[in-house]
Amino acid sequence: MTSRLTSSPSRRSVVKAAAATAVATAAVPAFAASSPALAAEQGTAFRHGVASGDPLPDGVLLWTRVTPAPDALPGSGKGPATEVSWEVAEDKGFARVVAGGLTTTTAATDHTVKVDVRGLRPATAYYFRFTSGGNVSATGRTRTAPAADAAAPGVRFGVVSCANWESGYFAAYRHLAARADLDAVLHLGDYIYEYGTGSYPADKYVVRRHEPAHEITTLSDYRARHGMYKTDPDLQAMHAAHPLVAIWDDHEIANDAWAGGAENHTPGTEGDYAARAAAAKRAYFEWMPVRTSTEGTVYRRLRFGKLADLHLLDLRSFRSEQASVGSGKVDDPERTITGRAQLDWLKAGLASSDATWKLVGTSVMISPVAFGSVPAHLLGPIAGLLGLPKEGLAVNVDQWDGYTDDRKELLRHLTDRGIENTVFLTGDIHMAWANDVPVTAATYPVSRSAATEFVVTSVTSDNLDDILRVAPGTVSLVAATAVKAANRHVKWLDMDRHGYGVLDVTAERSQMDYYTLSDRTRQDATASWARSYRTLSGTQKVERVKQPVR
């Protein structure tokens, strides 16, 4: 998404945000306690931790990265071919090993290791580890999905997005790692950021500096940045505790990416965009516990019994270039955010699903947003967060608002086919929202809602109070009130705080519990429950709930 504030370099975008209050600091589970990236504790072999992802009823993807020599750093291209063994057990003491094997990794894949394990039992917790040259990795815990035809009683996801290293610490990941009740963590994009140091946020607000210091553009650069992120102890703890289900947004490549370029890419000095995007995606698939599709994209579908189908979208690889605000092109039927093949795939999957809930992981917000009477002194910063011009025209060109024909087609498909219980799960804009998704926003609530949407705030990336450098709540109450007044489908909006969500799904309802952090600049930040919203089966509307799921 775009943000254009005058304090940023001309082609950079200031982006999103949040902050918070607190209660108690949770402890990391014992099996993840050995995960901090300290070579002294684990030898030199497994300094980037372990991870699992994309759980299936009979399997899961396992990941690690081996460092076979001191100079075999991420992105270096150095280091010999190295054998790595892996094993999966029913117990964390590995007395009951159920699967194992040996693989070889080389510099061609940046010494990353990905193993797609099959033959496991559905809805079962397993433990896994890797060994190389006498070094044993941290132990990870993972969990398979329910059988495809199982009447699963419930499924629970941690939900996160937008984790900028330089803006703060990843305490949100630590709090998710401490929970023993999650089936997986859903990451909705901006897992890494591509900027050079001091670009976002401004240099004087940097909490910790990332590597490389320059803006990343090459395969070596993207590998090095992924490697640096995976030295974070809280990120390692989350990966060791739960399987990850992830999609990318723009910052895994470059800000406001589209099929042929990006706002944060200058061909004259940074080379061919297609080469840059290919390098970014290659590094992503090397470093993330995500299965690579035949098309080299992240759109795919996971099933959690008859309770939920999770449709995951790629809204960067196939989209048309963002329209200029005010140009009238946002309604052009030739422009697309999904691409024809992906939209047809999504529509077919929603129509054929026999699951109670159709969850859609979308990196940018599908609900429309108009501004109404937002005060002039807040219009610029909010426009920056939402990707709008400071004049406040009600078009969010980087999100579905900039591609209205695709949205119309999808929502019409839901209503024409009578598809109920569609819930969009969204990140990107560094604010928390609970929305009905109206067929016609201008006449809502007289006209109907086709779906609901839960948007989670950022882990660390800037939101309104961070941009204005004021205390949380100082100005956001006025702004949020104005936005809600102009958008009656928006039931709740938090512009100020950082944190994460926990989505709990049963046959009766889907409920999002929103948690906020005390201080993103503190590694020991506490977390507290802020709000909960749910949608009941068959209603296509969200309502407030007075307490989180226990």
Which of 319-323, 416-420, 440-444, 546-550 comes out lowest in average pLDDT?
440-444
Residues 271-279: what's their mean pLDDT? 97
Whether residue 246 is contained in a domain is answered as yes
The predicted pLDDT at position 378 comes to 64
Are the C-beta atoms of residues 423 and 430 closer than 8 Å to each other? no
Establish if 25 belongs to a structural domain.
no
**Quick check: 17 and 499 in contact, CB under 8 A?**
no
**What share of the chain has pLDDT > 90, as a percent?**
79
The whole-number pLDDT of residue 395 equals 58
pLDDT at 32 over 80: no
Gap between the Cα atoms of 42 and 65, Å rounded: 13
What pLDDT is stored for residue 325 in this prediction? 74
For residue 8, pLDDT beyond 80:
no
| Domain presence at residue 2 | no
> Does pLDDT of 145 surpass 50?
yes
pLDDT at 21 over 70: no
Angle formed by the axes of helices 340-352 and 404-416, nearest 10°? 20
Which of 283, 236, 276, 231 lies closest to 109, judged by CA?
Answer: 283
Q: Is the pLDDT of residue 394 over 70?
A: no
Q: Is 22 part of a structural domain of the chain? A: no
**What does DSSP assign to residue 95?**
S
Q: Measured between alpha carbons, how far is 514 from 434 in angstroms, rounded to an integer? A: 10
Report the number of distinct structural domains present in the chain.
Answer: 1
Give me the helices (H) in 353-499, please. Answer: 376-386, 404-416, 464-468, 476-486
Give whole-number Cα distances, 313 to 87, 108, 169, 200, in Å. 32, 28, 27, 26
Report d(CA 345, CA 342) in Å as an integer: 5
**Averaged pLDDT, 114-127:** 98
pLDDT in tens, 331-357: 899 999 999 999 999 999 999 999 999
| Count of C-beta atoms within a 10 Å radius of residue 310 | 24
Residue 36 has pLDDT above 80, yes or no: no
More confidently predicted of 482 and 22: 482
Domain that holds residue 515: 30-545
pTM of the entire predicted model: 0.90
Residue 157 has pLDDT above 80, yes or no: yes
pLDDT of residue 383: 61
Model pLDDT, residue 56: 98
Question: CA distances (Å), 310 to each of 142, 290, 305, 359, 443, in order?
Answer: 18, 14, 11, 5, 30
28-37, 155-164, 236-245: range with lowest mean pLDDT: 28-37
Kindly give the residue spans of alpha helices, DSSP state H, lying in 387-441. Answer: 404-416
**In 76-210, which residue ranges form alpha helices assigned H by DSSP?**
171-177
**pLDDT tens track for 491-506:** 999 999 999 999 999 9
Asked whether residue 251 is domain-assigned, the answer is yes
Domain assignment present for residue 18? The answer is no
For residue 19, is it within any domain?
Answer: no
Q: Are strands 135-136 and 155-160 parallel, antiparallel or unpaired?
A: unpaired
Q: What is the CATH number of the domain that holds 410?
A: 3.60.21.70
The overall average pLDDT reported for the chain is 89
53 in any annotated domain: yes
Q: What pLDDT score does 26 carry? A: 35
pLDDT band at residue 370 under the 50/70/90 scheme:
confident
Give tens-digit pLDDT for 402-449: 999 999 999 999 999 999 999 999 999 999 999 999 999 888 999 999
- Percent of the chain surpassing pLDDT 70: 87
The whole-angstrom separation of Cα 207 and Cα 198 is 10
Whether 61 has a pLDDT exceeding 80, the answer reads: yes
For residue 477, name the pLDDT band (cuts at 50, 70, 90).
Answer: confident
